[in-house]
Amino acid sequence: MQLTGAEILIECLKEQDVDTIFGYPGGAVINIYDALYKHQDEIRHILTSHEQGASHAADGYARATGKVGVCLATSGPGATNLVTGIATAYMDSVPMVAITGNVPLALLGKDSFQEVDITGITMPITKHNFIVKNVKDLASTVRRAFYIAQEGRPGPVLVDIPKDITAQITEYIKEEPIAIEKVTEYITEEDINNALELLQNSQQPLIYVGGGVICADANGDLVAFAEKVKAPVCCTLMGLGGFPATHELFTGMIGMHGTKSSNLAATKCDLLIAIGARFSDRVISKVEAFAPNAQVLHIDIDPAEINKNIRSHYHIIGDVKEVLKRLNKKLAPQENQPWMEQVKTWKEKYPLGYKKDGRLKPQYVIEKIYEMTKGEAIITTEVGQNQMWTAQYYKFTKSRTFISSGGLGTMGYGLGACIGAKIGNPEKLVINVAGDGSFQMNSIELATAIKYNLPIIVVILNNGVLGMVRQWQDLFYDKRYAETDLDRGTDLIKLVEAYGAKGYQITEESQFEEAFHKALESNVPVVLNCIIDKTENVYPMVPAGAPIENVITEG
């Protein structure tokens, strides 16, 4: 059948079972939007307030559903406004396809109006990207983009389409998507047997879990593995929800803002089993002091991560779920009683905690959210102190319920991601925890939540400062608070109400429960502006570059 390039694009999206696109129109994509208009009953378009909001919403949709997130923007500034969201998805291995328009082929490379080399700009932050210069290649390119975004280690792919390509006509033949096969060809019996020998000889093992467990949907296999090994389990920020936080083997997050028990376990273990984790600098800190007594077994789908930051003694490259299944099949139950008693002692001696002094505490707010949602909400966050308090005090027990920018640390990410997560899971409660600095970066997306009647809840931990930067200034820069006091005088409640949302100002603990209860029963977006003290810091904390056992605790 003869179709225009724009119509072929829509048909290819339908082939991939795309039901939602987040975007913002412009001249270079007007033909695509015209085709979308004709197929609005099959593909829902969410008009965000800014292209960055579209990219974050596509990212949040992907993380919360496990499907590919799709965003669409015009050429020039529309395309460059996607860049931060694409980089966010790339750092956290999120499957996304970003579609951009560009100027007609004859105008490429001539500094034409709203022209940028978006494939050149995004080359370092995509798994792959394409510019389509022949309409006959469009269908195969889109299909390949979706395949690349999902196969192996997921990530974003960009497809740039010049405007005249969307208008040209060629033959379209429908195809079924290529099945995504698990990466198993590098998993050998020798590797499995070596891992089993390590496990059997270890007396003090520690399982270190990253976001790869969630990507692989390997939660159940991980629990079975941990219970067989009888090992404590810690996780990275991106691994939250990959192992139930309520499980007796769980020791909490590891690294800069991890628990002291996790950091001590990493320092004292004789075998570190890294599963779907990349040994980020925020986890390992001082390389030569990280797990100094341990052999390292690294299980990951991406061979590029092996020996990149930490040398592994043994590794298995492949789909995490498949590796764990094979290990579980052969692994005899272990007993590491003295080690487990030691870890239990650390957990009891160094629990997470905070001083209650009558003021509204951010930790209390997060604990109350967990209590009132019974741990069943999807939580998105912004970046900074709000993110760390959420990671520490909300007990995530299921995958795809903690959604946050880990690798890039993108302020302004959370609200767009919250919208995307809610669109992908309309039946679930979705809450964004924010700082006042991050919230004001992309607060315009409240208009999107209002337009589509999304009853999301935003909880702002408002300390009037850029909290995490101020914390570093407080601890390491002799209290020189350079440009971290916001003091803008913005009335956030009036701002929220101007968008059409409900807003509640909260200054005391006794007010929070009532306001949050109202938010839970509301059918419109609600913002809870919780005023907290600007001197409140995130603890525990390991100074950058210090051994992770050197934990600063409050007081």
* 344 and 368 belong to one structural domain: no
- Whether residues 136 and 203 share a domain: the answer is no
SS3 22: strand
- Predicted pLDDT of residue 487: 83
Q: Which of 158, 141, 128 is nearest to 9 (CA)?
A: 141
Residue 73 dihedral angles phi and psi, to the nearest 5°: -145, 160
Per-residue pLDDT, 202: 96
Pair (203, 315) in one structural domain: yes
Q: Are strands 378-381 and 402-403 parallel, antiparallel or unpaired?
A: parallel
Residue 299 falls within a domain, yes or no? yes
Q: Which of 67, 114, 230, 509 is catalytic?
A: 114
Q: Is 352 exposed, middle or buried (0-12, 13-18, 19+ CB in 10 A)?
A: middle
Rounded CA separation 249/476 (Å) = 34
- Residue 526: enclosing H or E segment and its boundaries? strand 526-531
Instruction: Please give the pLDDT value at position 49.
Output: 98
Residues in the chain: 555
77 and 108: one domain? yes
Number of domains the chain is built from? 3
- Is residue 432 a contact partner of residue 441, using CB atoms and an 8 Å limit? no
| Residue 244, CA distances (Å) to 252, 266, 374, 394, 420 in order | 10, 19, 14, 11, 24
**Among the options 38, 42, 113, 513, which is catalytic?**
113
8 A C-beta contact, residue 434 and residue 446: no
Residue 180: inside a domain, yes or no?
Answer: no
Query: Who's near 450: CB < 8 A, 6+ residues apart?
Result: 499, 500, 501, 524, 525
Q: Is 163 a catalytic residue?
A: yes
Domain match, 342 and 227 both: yes
Between CA 527 and CA 524 the distance in angstroms is 10
Q: How far apart are CA 91 and CA 329, in angstroms?
A: 33
**φ, ψ for residue 380, nearest 5 deg:** -105, 160
Write out residues in the chain with pLDDT < 50, as ranges: none
CA neighbours closer than 13 Å in the CB half-sphere of residue 288: 0
Residue 294 sits in a domain whose CATH number is 3.40.50.1220
Which of 144, 171, 198 is at the close of a domain?
Answer: 171
Contact 404, 385 (CB under 8 A): no
| Same domain, yes or no: 19 and 100 | yes
Q: Is residue 126 part of a domain?
A: yes
Is the domain of 142 the same as that of 21? Answer: yes
Long-range CB pairs of 467-473, under 8 A, 24+ apart, other chains included? 467/384, 467/385, 467/386, 467/435, 467/437, 467/534, 467/536, 467/538, 468/383, 468/384, 468/385, 468/388, 468/538, 469/384, 470/534, 471/385, 471/537, 471/538, 471/541
**Residue 348, C-beta contacts closer than 8 angstroms, at least 6 positions apart:** none
pLDDT in the model for residue 219:
97
Residue 554: predicted pLDDT = 77
Within this chain, do residues 424 and 514 fall inside the same structural domain, yes or no? yes
Say if residue 46 is exposed, middle or buried (CB neighbours under 10 Å; 0-12, 13-18, 19+). buried
Residue 355 lies in a domain: no
Radius of gyration over every alpha carbon of the chain, rounded to an integer in angstroms: 24
Q: Which of 141, 171, 201 is the last residue of a domain?
A: 171
Residue 183 in domain = no
| Gap between the Cα atoms of 246 and 375, Å rounded | 10
368 and 392 housed in the same domain: yes
Among the listed residues 7, 52, 163, 534, the single catalytic one is 163
Q: Answer whether residue 546 is part of any domain.
A: no
Boundary residue ending a domain (137, 171, 205): 171
Residue 6 and residue 145 in one domain? yes
CA distances from 171 to 2, 3, 4, 8, 362 (A): 4, 6, 9, 9, 58
DSSP annotation of 500 reads T
Q: Is residue 219 part of a domain?
A: yes
> How many Å apart are CA 383 and CA 459, to the nearest integer?
13
Catalytic member of 422, 468, 471, 549: 468
Domain region containing 29: 2-171
Per-residue HEC secondary structure of 412-467 comes to CHHHHHHHHHHHHCCCCCEEEEEEHHHHHHCHHHHHHHHHCCCCCEEEEEECCECH
Indicate if 51 belongs to the active site. Answer: yes
- Do 494 and 531 meet the contact criterion of CB atoms below 8 Å apart? no
- Do 161 and 224 share a domain, yes or no? no
Side chain identity at residue 301, one-letter code = I
Same domain, 202 and 152: no
Question: Which CATH number do you get for residue 42?
Answer: 3.40.50.970
Q: Is residue 222 part of a domain?
A: yes
Which residue in the list 7, 11, 22, 51 is annotated as catalytic?
51
Q: How far apart are the first and last CA of the chain?
A: 72
Look at residue 527 and give its three-state secondary structure. Answer: strand
Report the C-alpha gap between 324 and 308 in whole angstroms. 22
Compute the CA torsion angle 449, 452, 453, 455 (nearest 10 deg). -50
